[in-house]
Amino acid sequence: MNTKKYLLYFAQEHLNFRFEEINSLLSLLKIEMDFIETPNKTQPYWLVKFKSEDDVKLLTNRSVSLRSCMELWAYSDTIEDLHRQMKQYPYELQAPYMQENQSFKIEVETFCKHFTQKEKVDKLEAFSYLPVKGKVKLKNPEIIFQYIEYYGTDPKSPPENPYMVFFGCWITNGLRQLIQNLSLKTRKFIGNTSMDPQLSLLMANQAQVQSGDIILDPFVGSGSLLVAAAQFGGYVLGTDIDYLMLHARTRPSRITQKERDKDESVKANMAQYNLDHKYLDVLVNDFAIQFWKDDLRFDAIITDPPYGIREATEKIGTSKENCTVSEEHLPTHIPAKIEYGLSHLYYDLLTFSAKHLKLGGKLVCWFPIFRDDYNEDGLPTNTCLKLVANSEQILNKHTSRRLLTYEKIGEPCGDIREHRNNIIDFRSKYYDTREETRKERRMKKAMERHRNRKETTNHKK
Q: List helix spans (H) across 130-214.
A: 176-181, 197-206
Q: Does some domain include residue 49?
A: yes
Q: Are residues 238 and 132 in the same domain?
A: no
Q: For residue 390, what pLDDT is reported?
A: 97
Please, what sign has the CA dihedral across residues 202, 206, 208, 214? negative
Q: Does some domain include residue 452?
A: no
The 10s digit of each residue's pLDDT in 272-329 is 999 999 999 999 999 999 889 999 999 999 999 998 777 778 888 887 777 777 777 7
Using DSSP, state whether 80 is helix, strand or coil: helix
User: In the sheet where 45-50 sits, what is the strand order?
Assistant: 33-35, 45-50, 5-10, 66-76, 164-173, 143-150, 104-111
Helix (H) or strand (E) holding 58: helix 53-60
Q: For residue 436, what pLDDT is reported?
A: 57
Using DSSP, state whether 443 is helix, strand or coil: helix
User: In the sheet where 385-394 sits, what is the strand order?
Assistant: 279-284, 235-240, 214-217, 298-303, 357-370, 399-408, 385-394
Q: Does some domain include residue 214?
A: yes
Please list the helix, strand and coil fractions of the chain in percent, rounded to the nearest 5, in that order. 35, 25, 40
Q: Are residues 155 and 223 in the same domain?
A: no
What is the arithmetic mean of pLDDT over 364-392? 93
Indicate the residue among 147, 174, 201 that finishes a domain. 174
Instruction: Report the CATH number that the domain containing residue 38 is assigned in CATH.
Output: 3.30.2130.30
Indicate the residue among 141, 174, 207 that finishes a domain. 174
Confidence of residue 433 (pLDDT cuts 50, 70, 90): low
Please, what sign has the CA dihedral across residues 191, 196, 202, 204? positive
If we measure between CA atoms, which residue out of 184, 86, 171, 159 comes closest to residue 129?
86
* pLDDT beyond 70 at 460: no
* pLDDT beyond 70 at 128: yes
Q: For residue 416, what pLDDT is reported?
A: 47
Q: For residue 66, what pLDDT is reported?
A: 97
**Terminal Cα distance for the chain, rounded:** 83
Q: Does some domain include residue 312?
A: yes
Q: Are residues 146 and 265 in the same domain?
A: no
Instruction: Please tell me the least confidently modeled range out of 214-218, 305-309, 417-421.
Output: 417-421
* pLDDT beyond 80 at 2: no
What is the arithmetic mean of pLDDT over 234-251? 93
Q: Is residue 343 within 8 Å of residue 423, measured between CB atoms?
A: yes
Instruction: Please tell me the least confidently modeled range out of 18-27, 129-138, 310-319.
Output: 310-319
* pLDDT beyond 70 at 424: no
Q: Are residues 197 and 155 in the same domain?
A: no
Q: Is residue 224 within 8 Å of residue 194, measured between CB atoms?
A: yes
The letter for the amino acid at 20 is E
Rounded Cα gap, residues 7 and 70, in angstroms? 5
Q: Are residues 87 and 210 in the same domain?
A: no
Size (the chain), residues: 461
* pLDDT beyond 70 at 362: yes
Give the count of domains, the chain.
2
Rounded Cα gap, residues 355 and 197, in angstroms? 29
The 10s digit of each residue's pLDDT in 59-70 is 999 999 999 999
* pLDDT beyond 60 at 457: no
SS (H, E, C) 302-368: EECCCCCCCCCCEEECCCCCCCCCCHHHHHHCCCCEEECCHHHHHHHHHHHHHHHEEEEEEEEEEEE
Q: Does some domain include residue 310?
A: yes
Full domain range(s) for residue 112: 5-174
Output the CA–CA distances (angstroms, integers) from residue 217 to 109, 138, 282, in the order listed. Answer: 41, 45, 9
Q: What percent of the chain is modeled with pLDDT above 90? A: 72
Rounded Cα gap, residues 163 and 174, in angstroms? 25
Output the CA–CA distances (angstroms, integers) from residue 397 to 55, 67, 371, 429, 430, in the order listed. Answer: 40, 29, 8, 14, 12
Q: Are residues 158 and 228 in the same domain?
A: no
Q: Are residues 113 and 257 in the same domain?
A: no
What is the arithmetic mean of pLDDT over 351-359? 97
Q: For residue 237, what pLDDT is reported?
A: 98
Rounded Cα gap, residues 263 and 122, in angstroms? 55
Q: What are phi and psi of 414, to 5 degrees?
A: -65, -25
Q: Does some domain include residue 182?
A: no
Q: Are residues 236 and 160 in the same domain?
A: no
Q: For residue 45, what pLDDT is reported?
A: 97
Q: For residue 434, what pLDDT is reported?
A: 63
Q: Are residues 152 and 292 in the same domain?
A: no
Q: Are residues 403 and 300 in the same domain?
A: yes
Please, what sign has the CA dihedral across residues 337, 286, 238, 22? positive
Q: Which residue has the higher pLDDT, 310 or 180?
A: 180
Widest distance between CA atoms in the chain: 89
Report the relative pairing of strands 104-111 and 314-316 from DSSP bridges: unpaired
Q: Does some domain include residue 242?
A: yes
Mean pLDDT, rounded, of the chain: 90
The letter for the amino acid at 420 is R
Rounded Cα gap, residues 348 and 107, in angstroms? 52
Output the CA–CA distances (angstroms, integers) from residue 36 to 6, 45, 426, in the order listed. Answer: 9, 12, 42
Instruction: Report the CATH number that the domain containing residue 367 is assigned in CATH.
Output: 3.40.50.150
Long-range contacts of 92-101 (CB under 8 A, 24+ apart): 94/130, 94/131, 97/143, 97/145, 97/169, 98/130, 98/131, 98/132, 98/133, 98/134, 99/133, 99/134, 100/133, 100/134, 101/134
Strands annotated E in 77-152: 104-111, 143-150
Q: Are residues 308 and 361 in the same domain?
A: yes
A 10 A CB-CB count for 228 gives 30
Residues 6+ positions from 350 with CB-CB distance below 8 Å: 363, 380, 381, 382, 385, 406, 418
Q: Are residues 204 and 305 in the same domain?
A: yes
Q: Does some domain include residue 440?
A: no
